[in-house]
Chains A and B, each alone.
Chain A
Amino acid sequence: MPEPLTRELRDRLRGVVGDRWVIVDADRLLAYESDGLTAYRKTPRAVVLPKNTKEVSRLLGILSQEGVPVVPRGAGTGLSGGALADGDAVVVGTARMTEIIEFDPANRLARVQPGMINANLTKAAEPFGLYYAPDPSSQSACTLGGNVAENSGGPHCLKYGVTSRYVTALTVVTYDGNIVELGGFGRESGGYDLLGVFIGSEGCFGIATEIEVQLLPRPEGVQTLLAIFDRLGDAGTAVTEIMAEGLLPAALEIIDGPTIRAVEASVFAAGYPTDAEAALVIEFDGIEAGLARDVARAAEHCRVAGAREVRTADSAEERLALWRGRKKAFGAMGQISNDLMVQDGTVPRSKLTEVLELITEIGVRYDLTIANVFHAGDGNLHPNLLFDRSNAEELGRVDRASKEIMAVCVDAGGTITGEHGVGLDKRKYMTLVHGPEELDAMQAVKSVFDPLGRMNPGKVLPDRPDSASMTT
């Protein structure tokens, strides 16, 4: 159990945010012991929920005076254990920071608080014909602050790019309580791209308390098609051919046979044939007049590659139905398995089929069910390893298989994580992709923002020499 806060410290924190928003009861802290990656559980010492930049600054000022480590947390949907706090740390949550601070539709800009849910920003922008492009699968729950911390992607970043392309400014509070502005649309400044390096820093540099983002005009038209394949490799071929022709779909997503069967067995059944080995969802958006030809070309490539069936959607409702199997894949797997370890390696697109075969082989060798969902267009794989965390022996196999999967991705010219972040989970695998010089440079830059090393400690960078293990 974590060491409780002293009465004095608790009261000082309460003095900033009010009694209600300092959580110290063991039963309420339980809600913060885990994030989307349930293999890890850690109970924080306390959780504090500020409502604006000033409060965050005052809280951090107090906590840094006392030398208490701080762990920022959004909605807790992360998949790398990045929002977990050791018993000596206090979680600063953004759950109450959900406001739009400024909305400027003419300049296609919004300034929001970090606790705002990703999908809510698009909802707010909708009446102006605008939307926020990055769309992680958890977008109905995850927060923009979390997206900034992870530099989140999503299915549509194939065409539109990841979070860092859309964040134009941040207000940041560092561990010592200082408030700093980074970036700013409509003004250019000399000097390093501190905004860029802050994005994706997983809460290790500071807490973003205000986020300015660029919105995009909603595309005039969207068309989706679904192709069903008997062989996963054929779906991969179709993807390669579509990209080689120079078509640029907004999304190119594949779910494999085991995932299809999990989805169809769940309440999320989407009507995918359960004997298929791959379902490829392709979406085009843009000027309506140009879509029909793109869709026809993509459908043709699917058929030539061996698709047994190609479905297109004529209405928004049908479009959602085609997407359902992809979007609900995680939820469906949650229904057939107690726990999921989702991996996130990225490989050059042309290596997809080869790498998937190796992953299947790893699953067989470790006697694990691995179901794959992936962003085929940008080579970002999500192998889901199904397990039961009460089975320590199985957990050990999951750990070893995970490491092998990451190594396979790195060997293919890719990396260990494309969008979920390193967090707690992958820090011990950082040495697969980075040498000591690169890790030292990362540490040096972290120290610039957080010289005492108390912002989200124990995340991203590995302990050296490498000794950590997931089962601890």
Chain B
Amino acid sequence: MNPLAGLLSERLSKAQVVEGFGTERWAVCGRVPQAVVFPENEGQVAEVLTLSSEEGWHCMPAGRGSWLNGGQPPKGIDVLLSTDRMNEVSAYEPADMYIEAQAGVGLDELQRRASECKQWLPLDPPGGGGRGTLGAMLAVGTAGTLQTSFGSPRDLLLGATLITGDGRRLCLGGRVVKNVAGFDLLKLVAGSWGTLGVITSATMRMFPIPAVDRSLLFRGADVAAGAALTSRIAQTPLSLAAVELLVPGGGESGAGISSPLVAVRILESADAAAEAERVVVERAGIAPVERLEGEKSRAIFDNVGAMEGGAELVLRMSLLPTRLPELVEMIPPLEGLYDPRAGWGMRLAAHAYTGVLRVMIAKLSRAEGWLERSNAVLGELRRSLEEKGGSLVVSQGPPEIVGALGAWGETGPAAVFAERIRVAFDPASILAQGRLPQ
């Protein structure tokens, strides 16, 4: 046993510490931890963090490992702390529409519990999808297709317990939707990528499952036409749950890009859904190629998040929503970067209401000079998006690329606040160092 794992198993138990071979599957952006620990309660989390602070070990909070390859590579990783064994739903009050669970509860489990009471947590984060844990989903903080209609993870987060880098236990927020008792530190927790502390439990706002869950799929002649159709449908004054432009990618033989679909999700009562469908079809000016109900409708949108599965490179390009056609026009230079014969080639998914276009590439081309070429193209793409007031996030990619470009672009003068906040929560700088820009 390596000395680090040895010290940890003295504090916890041997069965809670993994070292050696078993640690590989917990690599973060290619970096393998010296030990993986599975605390079973908040006290043990605090113990691991306190010890790490004393020893100066780089510590990485995680759930089941769904998002470990996302974001910026860590500076170092000695201990990976998984909340996988903290997986109890501690309170579910359907009448009060909240659920309180330990961080290691899977989103799939949470949804299963909620569906028994005809409720759901209307979040469909990209990446880990249903396999991820509640805590990890909050730490990553990214919203999926339902962002405009239900909000981001931070908007549905009512309360959380956080163990800070130096082992303090903070109970933030509560169980009620309206709560302004003091500064809203919960907002900092969502999207903090583990740099402020380990989320050990969270209380989420739940919603009734709508009577009708219906998706309409329209086909566009090409990507530009699909983008135009997406914008046209999104401009209806009805509140649609989601309008997405989807380009699923080619087959194994793949030409890379396939013909696009526009997926419209309607979550309403029966009469309202019929009316919404009528308006959407009228606006589209063409008949839908497919119409999905209930579980099938939900599944197609859950898959929008899962489209990132198996991708080597995932980009998030943003501009104001009305500039979606412009975003799409910026794709061609990316076409030279990937290997069209590998897997599905390149996939696109754009969310009409937020103006975020996700580009997923199955495998980058490794032809000579690939790294320089990729970095140059992506660097130029970021520059040009920032010039237009937008952004490029390299949300997943080979460490050579993310390391060189940084996952995130310009941070601006507010970064000085961010750094001071980080130090207040993690004075020894042991947590997820490097995962966020500093």
Contact = CB atoms under 8 A, between A and B. Distances in A.
Contacts of B141: 193
B137 to A, nearest CB: 15
A441 B425 contact: yes
Nearest to B321: A107
A415 B275 CA distance: 40
Contacts, number: 263
Contacts of B270: 290, 293
Interface string B45-86: 000000000000000000000000001100000000000000
B268 interface: yes
Interface in A308-366: 346-351
Interface residues of A, number: 94
B281 interface: no
Contacts of A8: none
Given A182-B414, A288-B275, A346 B168 contact: no
Contacts of B94: 244
A324 to B, nearest CB: 24
Contact of B181 (A157, A188, A246, A422): A422
A248 B208 contact: yes
Interface string A379-423: 110000000000000000000000000000000011111111110
Nearest to B268: A290
Contacts of B182: 422, 430, 433-434, 438-439, 442, 460-461
B268 A286 contact: yes
Given A218-B237, A435-B171, A188 B176 contact: no
A164 B184 contact: yes
B328 to A, nearest CB: 15
Contacts of A435: 171
Interface string A429-449: 010011101110110111111
A281 to B, nearest CB: 18
B160 to A, nearest CB: 12
Nearest to A451: B420
Given A187-B318, A190-B408, A217-B237, A290 B271 contact: yes
A359 to B, nearest CB: 16
Contacts of A446: 183
Given A162-B178, A193-B188, A286 B239 contact: yes
A216 B106 CA distance: 33
A290 B208 contact: no
Interface in A115-167: 129, 150-151, 153, 157-158, 161-162, 164-165
B174 A189 contact: no
Interface in B87-126: 93-98, 118-119
Contacts of B211: 246
Given A288-B275, A437-B169, A196 B412 contact: no
A414 B176 contact: yes
Given A192-B421, A287-B276, A419 B95 contact: no
Interface of B: 71-72, 93-98, 118-119, 141, 151, 154-155, 164, 168-172, 174-185, 187-188, 190-192, 196, 207-211, 235, 237-239, 268-276, 316, 318-323, 354-356, 385-386, 389-391, 393, 407-415, 417-418, 420-422, 424-425, 436-437
Given A287-B276, A430-B181, 20 more contacts: A107-B320, A178-B413, A180-B414, A184-B389, A186-B354, A187-B318, A187-B385, A187-B389, A190-B437, A192-B421, A193-B154, A216-B239, A217-B237, A293-B269, A294-B269, A350-B93, A379-B96, A419-B180, A433-B181, A437-B168
